[in-house]
Amino acid sequence: MTLIQVIKRLAAPAAAVLGAGVLTLMLMSLVIDKDAARRSVEEQIRAATGLELVVHGKTEVSVFPGSYVTLHQVALKGESAGSSTLTVDALTANLSLLPIFTRRFEVTDLALLSPHVTVTRNADGESNWTPIIRTLVRNMKPNTASPVSFSEIRVMQGTVLFRDEIHHTDETIDKIGLSLGWPSISRSFAATGQFDWRDEHVDATLSVADFAAMLEGDRSGVKVRLASAPLKIGFDGAVSNRSSLLLDGTLTADSTSLRDALRWIGQTPLANGGFGRFSMKARANIVGESVALTNVNVDLDGNAAEGVLTYNSNTGQRTLQGTLAADALDLTPYIGTIRLLASGARDWNRQLFDLRGLSATDLDMRLSAAKVTVGSSKFGRTAIGANLRGGTLALSVGEAQIYGGTVKGSLGISRAADSADFKAQFRFNDVDLEASGNELFGVRALRGRGDLIVSLEASGSSAFALAQSVDGTATLTARDGSIVGFNIEQLLKRLEKRPLSGAGNYRSGSTPFEKLNASVSINNGIANIDNIQIDGPATQVTLAGTASIPSREYDLKGTASLVPASDSTPGFQLPFVVQGPWDDPLIFPDSDILIRRSQGAAPLLDSLKDHKTRDAVKAVIDRLTGVRKTSEPSAAPPADTPSAPAPTTSPPAEATAPAPPAATPEPNSSTN
């Protein structure tokens, strides 16, 4: 007999048996005792979890085509009375088919549709789930008389509400879809799925080596992975929960934008720039709400550092402390958006400061690096401390190598309503004057080395407001340098010989000095220059006056003099005025002094008693000498002015005016 013939002979009996079985299952679906099925499911769930089921809705029982029992509007309660901690719209228990023929209902797995879980932490730190956990621990012991029959629980469209009465916060996790591997045949527990938190989708996995031990508070291995668009977190270690939750293991974190991740978890970054790509790996010890990280390797915006970090929120206020060390740091992204001057202009920036980050988290950090870059500034070995508490940020520079020297000091920023109070104290030792002056004050005229002490205070909501309110002092002591752009010695010698020959091109060359001392006091944005003394081998310069910080302009008066060849012979002295913007000031020599030193022009000026005529003649002389730019005079010199000065043996030419220097023969310096 062939195989085909055997199959044909068995097909009919098999079809009959199958048909009888299907018919039997259909009849059983009609005659099955629904109350008995429901009681059996409730008893098995109670035996596995210790929770009492309260069914408020209808019960559905099916044997074919699927064998299951569905309970609608179910509440699960612990031993203590009170509101339900877990409610389910529909609880479906899938049944093993064969035991049904003997009227036994064995649950293979559970499916919870739209469960709603409420977790409340009261002011004493206790949770409403504490009795539930105790019940689970007692019912999951190995010697339990009624072993757990099902090994999987599926959660669909779940919602968890966390209420923290200590911090007065509520958090909601919704759209939960999980598959829980219930420890029925082993001690391990696993959960895999996803949920939504704060409008972000999160994939999650959890595995526990000994679930019963963990619930009882004993030590157990645990692995956690959370992956979302803003942040990815992983933990691999051990967990226990005797007096408080304790986690010990390796913690990893990764984010394409730490700024977005901080905002997602409810934090506000301190700066408006930076906080981009972030990764961290550390040994973590977590006790309650305190996190201690050792062997930290962190990378933020390309800055890699090592050290220790701690985070604590037990007191209600979040506090971050730590010590980090790096080979090289680039802090430009974090302060690059802070612009004191308006873009492309000399005016101070009027954009309001964003100080919201000062009240988010308390901070106590110590940072050291071999090299630090801040914009165009390059620092050598640097040690910085940052302390943020109660909305006040204090930055301290223990020592930093910069401009060829060192700097020490502190900067304080306190938030007051919509404005801020700033305090700064810095001491620069043996720094390069050209580099420091250019970057700090926009002054490029000084070369050499020196010491600078600055103490400033200001209040305002913008850089312009700070410039208007700044108070403080500044002192500068320099040595062995030069003033670039001015050859004061050459200018003075030329004017000493020919006072009316014109200033010429005096903005060239340099003036060396051996010592420079400057003292400045600042009040409400006005810098009062008490004294600037410049001593060089051939010249001496003194300056005094004011400088407006809001308008960035000078208004100074000074005297430049040649060092005399001997004590008996006084050196030539020339008063001058400095006015105009900081980056391009105008310098005017005193024209009265130049005129009076000219033996040809001084008698003429003295002979003009009429005020208008005297001013007109002086204006012409000013224009010819290039001392000061003025409008055309209202009166001209007399028409009979001779083209050459009178002989020295004759009386002074009282009614004559000197011709322009270009048309005047150049006599000896003693007669000019």
The answer to whether residue 648 sits within a structural domain is yes
Confidence of residue 84 (pLDDT cuts 50, 70, 90): low
The verdict on 64 and 162 lying in the same domain is yes
DSSP per position, 482-510: EEET--HHHHHHHHHH-TTS---S-SSSE
The verdict on 170 and 191 lying in the same domain is no
The answer to whether residue 481 sits within a structural domain is no
Confidence of residue 161 (pLDDT cuts 50, 70, 90): very high
DSSP per position, 36-65: HHHHHHHHHHHHHH-PEEEE-S-EEEE-SS
Percent of the chain with pLDDT over 90: 34
pLDDT tens for each residue of 179-200: 998 776 668 889 999 999 999 9
pLDDT for 661 beyond 90: no
- Select the more confidently predicted residue: 339 or 56: 56
Domain that holds residue 53: 35-183
pLDDT for 175 beyond 90: yes
The verdict on 64 and 201 lying in the same domain is no
- Give pLDDT, residue 619: 64
Size (the chain), residues:
672
Instruction: Please state the separation of Cα 24 from the chain's center in Å.
Output: 72
pLDDT, mean of residues 462-474: 91
**Where is average pLDDT lowest: 115-119, 288-292, 335-339, 490-494?**
335-339
The answer to whether residue 7 sits within a structural domain is no
The verdict on 62 and 128 lying in the same domain is yes
pLDDT tens for each residue of 536-550: 998 999 999 999 988
Which residue, 183, 214, 236, sits at the end of a domain?
Answer: 183
Question: Are the CB atoms for 76 and 51 separated by under 8 Å?
Answer: yes
pLDDT tens for each residue of 579-634: 888 777 887 777 666 666 655 555 555 555 555 555 665 665 565 455 544 444 44
Q: Which residue shows structure tokens 């919602």?
A: 159
The verdict on 156 and 232 lying in the same domain is no
The verdict on 49 and 151 lying in the same domain is yes
pLDDT tens for each residue of 273-313: 788 999 999 999 999 889 999 999 999 999 999 999 999 87
Q: What is the 3-state secondary structure (H, E, C) of 180-224?
A: EECCCCCCCEEEEEEEEECCEEEEEEEEECCHHHHHHCCCEEEEE
The verdict on 39 and 177 lying in the same domain is yes
pLDDT averaged over every residue in the chain: 79
Which residue, 302, 324, 342, sits at the end of a domain?
Answer: 302
Give the span between the Cα atoms of 638 and 619, in whole angstroms: 15
Task: Count structural domains, the chain.
Answer: 3
The answer to whether residue 199 sits within a structural domain is yes
- Select the more confidently predicted residue: 112 or 345: 112
Give the span between the Cα atoms of 105 and 94, in whole angstroms: 9
- Give pLDDT, residue 158: 95
The verdict on 165 and 196 lying in the same domain is no
Helix (H, G, I), strand (E, B) or coil at 525: coil
The answer to whether residue 618 sits within a structural domain is yes
pTM of the model: 0.73
- Select the more confidently predicted residue: 334 or 460: 460
The answer to whether residue 21 sits within a structural domain is no
- Select the more confidently predicted residue: 229 or 445: 229
The verdict on 110 and 87 lying in the same domain is yes
Give the span between the Cα atoms of 220 and 237, in whole angstroms: 9
Task: For residue 127, give the DSSP letter.
Answer: B
The answer to whether residue 112 sits within a structural domain is yes
- Residue 2, amino acid: T
Cα separation values, 542 from 359, 450, 533, 577, 597, Å: 48, 18, 5, 11, 21
- The token pair at 461 is 């909501």
The verdict on 153 and 264 lying in the same domain is no
Which residue, 142, 165, 183, sits at the end of a domain?
Answer: 183
